Amino acid sequence: MSQVSLHGKLKYDVEYKTPADQVYEFWSCNFKDIPKACSKIIHSIELLQGCWGKEGSIHVMTYSLVEAMDCKKKYMSLKVIGGNLLDHYRSIKFILEQVTPKGDGASMACWTMEYEKLNENVPDPIALRDAGVNTNKAIAAYLSQA
């Protein structure tokens, strides 16, 4: 009998019509503005600990920890550390792998969602990945209007 892996990764890319620096700055420094960009998906974000745009800061959304940031590489790692997502998953991490320029002022944000399920009966978090895609699309629209 083969053993089911509890670990997984889901990747997604979202095109922005704004420069890579602007996209990364929004995600890393203006995280608090996410509800302005996509209020139908994320209603509020509060700073629980630390400073906006700094490693180690903790946000109240589902309690996410900014685990790592690299402004030069436009890399950021957010780890879920509380909330109802952890009722089904041992760990969930959203990683902004890179934001690359595409020319004409556009850019591509490449994300990876890493997760570990609590048991083999828990489904892969496809709906959560889709919410990540929709959040990025809403932010892309918001930034292109700014």
User: pLDDT tens digits, the chain, 146 residues: what are they?
Assistant: 567 789 999 999 999 999 999 999 999 888 889 889 888 778 788 888 898 888 888 887 766 788 999 999 999 999 998 888 899 999 999 999 999 999 889 999 999 999 999 999 999 999 999 999 999 999 999 999 97
In the chain, where the domains are located: 7-145
- pLDDT value of position 112: 98
**Helices and strands: H and E segment counts in the chain:** 3, 7
**Among candidate residues 35, 19, 12, 37, the one with its CA nearest the CA of residue 132:** 12
- Closest to 12 (Cα-Cα) out of 144, 108, 140, 105: 108
The pLDDT assigned to 63 comes to 63
Superfamily of segment(s) 7-145 = START domain (3.30.530.20)
